[in-house]
């Protein structure tokens, strides 16, 4: 009996909250419509995602198989961007590299945001000793250049797609934890949380229904703006040889392989780098315009 009562009260409170969200949503729609830049950049982002999904069909040739007799050919009608040392088609490898890079980046960004949000929420909502320990740890991670540790972790654990993502996650979550904690601290002391607590709503419910939805916009903005940086960090680790391993088509790795042929086959280092540049630039522009929409105060 008591349980049902609690639930209905909890539900009532969340309904009010939902109305507020609805209001924000309609505002949001009009802001999205008013912001033409955002639509253009979103279209480009969707295009990149489509290229990544349909890469195997878009690539003119097999990115993993090449004939040695075709090795290091200059760009031609048959191989638009030339071939690498194994005779593989560079264009096909770049197209399929979109899949690898985008997949790794999205996994990384989501993982980092989830871990950071979890730690930040725990610290911010429960306070006390939990907060002290978690925040000490967070500060420790922030007072150190992350990429150094990421290189060490990825290198020692052995280069692979999963280890790269884990290594970069270990060094990147702290920023999100700090952000989410400060947001949660603000929300936790508001009246509607106290109301929910008085109604006997379970802690789990409060966090899921009230705290998380309110922290989400800022986390999404930060994550969106981080996509470009994360993509470059992944490419950097692969470039050092601690990320994706051959023969995976991955841009950073392709640059590493192309580096040795900079004199004889410069196209091997020009085009993969250009691919990173274009994709990162689009995600950076998209992230900036998303911030303008979700958080107009910043502009």
Partner 1 sequence: MLGTLIGVSFLTFCLTWLAPGDPVSMLLETADTVVSAELVEQTRHDLGLDQPFLVQYVNWAGGVLHGDMGMSYSAKKPVVDKLLEGFAGTLLLAVVTIIFVLIISLPLGIWSAVKRNKLPDYIVRGLSFIGVSMPSFWIGLLLLYFFGLKLRLFPIAQSEVTAAGIVLPALTLAIYMSSKYMRQVRTVILEELNHDYVVGARARGLSETTILWKHVLPNAILPLITLLGMSIGWLLGGVAVIEMVFSWPGIGNMAVRAISMRDYPLIEGFVLWIAIVYMVINLLVDMSYSWLDPRLKKEAR
**Binding-site ranges for partner 1 (CB under 8 A):** 136-137, 139-140, 143-145, 147-149, 151-153, 155-158, 228, 232, 235-236, 239-242, 252, 255, 258-259, 262-263, 266, 269-270, 273, 276-277, 280-281, 284
Q: For 15-51, b where at least 16 C-beta lie within 10 A, e where not — what string? A: eebeeeeeeeeeeeeeebeebeebeebbebbeebeeb
**3-class SS of residue 83:** strand
Compute the chain's Rg from CA coordinates. Answer: 23
Nearer to partner 1 among residue 235 and residue 294 (C-beta): 235
Q: Find the shortest distance in angstroms from Cβ 27 to partner 1.
A: 27
Which own/partner contact pairs does 162-167 have at CB distance under 8 Å and 24+ positions apart?
Answer: 164/104, 164/234, 164/237, 164/238, 164/242, 164/243, 164/244, 165/104, 165/107, 165/108, 165/111, 165/234, 167/237, 167/242
Nearer to partner 1 among residue 219 and residue 268 (C-beta): 268
Nearer to partner 1 among residue 111 and residue 270 (C-beta): 270
Distance CA 146, CA 261 (A): 31
* Residue located via tokens 């702290």: 174
Nearer to partner 1 among residue 60 and residue 266 (C-beta): 266
Nearer to partner 1 among residue 116 and residue 252 (C-beta): 252
Q: Find the shortest distance in angstroms from Cβ 186 to partner 1.
A: 25
Determine how many CB atoms are found less than 10 A away from the CB of residue 139.
13
Q: Find the shortest distance in angstroms from Cβ 153 to partner 1.
A: 6
Count the helix, strand and coil residues of the chain and give each as a percent rounded to the nearest 5: 80, 0, 20
Q: Find the shortest distance in angstroms from Cβ 272 to partner 1.
A: 8
Strands (E), the chain: none
Q: For 149-179, b where at least 16 C-beta lie within 10 A, e where not — what string? A: ebbebbeeeebebebbbbbbbbbbbbbbbbb
Q: Find the shortest distance in angstroms from Cβ 233 to partner 1.
A: 9
Nearer to partner 1 among residue 50 and residue 274 (C-beta): 274
Q: Find the shortest distance in angstroms from Cβ 258 to partner 1.
A: 8
Q: Find the shortest distance in angstroms from Cβ 158 to partner 1.
A: 6
87 torsion bin: left (phi>0), alpha (psi -120 to 50), beta (else): left
Nearer to partner 1 among residue 86 and residue 151 (C-beta): 151
Nearer to partner 1 among residue 128 and residue 145 (C-beta): 145
Is residue 68 packed enough to be buried (19+ CB in 10 Å), middle (13-18) or exposed (0-12)? Answer: exposed
Q: Find the shortest distance in angstroms from Cβ 45 to partner 1.
A: 14
């Amino acid at each position: 009996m008591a349980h049902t009562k609690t639930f209905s009260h909890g539900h009532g409170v969340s309904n009010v909250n939902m109305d507020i969200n609805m209001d924000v949503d309609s505002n949001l729609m009009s802001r999205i419509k008013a912001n033409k830049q955002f639509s253009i950049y979103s279209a480009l982002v969707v295009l990149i995602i489509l290229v990544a999904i349909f890469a195997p069909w878009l690539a003119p040739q097999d990115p993993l198989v090449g004939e040695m007799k075709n090795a290091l050919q200059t760009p031609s009608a048959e191989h638009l961007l030339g071939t690498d040392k194994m005779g593989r088609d560079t264009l096909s490898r770049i197209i399929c590299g979109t899949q690898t890079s985008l997949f790794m980046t999205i996994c990384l960004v989501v993982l980092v945001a989830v871990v950071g949000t979890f730690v930040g929420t725990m610290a911010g909502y429960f306070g006390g000793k939990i907060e002290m320990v978690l925040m000490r740890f967070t500060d420790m991670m922030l007072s150190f250049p992350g990429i150094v540790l990421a290189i060490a972790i990825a290198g020692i654990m052995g280069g692979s797609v999963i280890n790269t993502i884990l290594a970069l996650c270990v060094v990147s979550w702290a920023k999100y934890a700090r952000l989410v904690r400060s947001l949660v601290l603000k929300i936790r002391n508001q009246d509607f949380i106290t109301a929910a607590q008085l109604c006997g709503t379970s802690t789990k419910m409060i966090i899921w229904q009230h705290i998380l939805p309110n922290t989400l916009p800022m986390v999404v903005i930060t994550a969106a703006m981080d996509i470009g940086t994360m993509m470059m960090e992944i490419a950097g680790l692969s470039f050092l040889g601690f990320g994706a391993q051959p023969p995976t088509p991955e841009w950073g790795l392709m640059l590493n392989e192309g580096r040795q042929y900079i004199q004889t086959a410069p196209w091997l280092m020009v085009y993969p780098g250009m691919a990173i540049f274009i994709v990162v630039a689009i995600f950076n522009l998209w992230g900036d315009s998303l911030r303008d929409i979700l958080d107009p105060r910043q502009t």
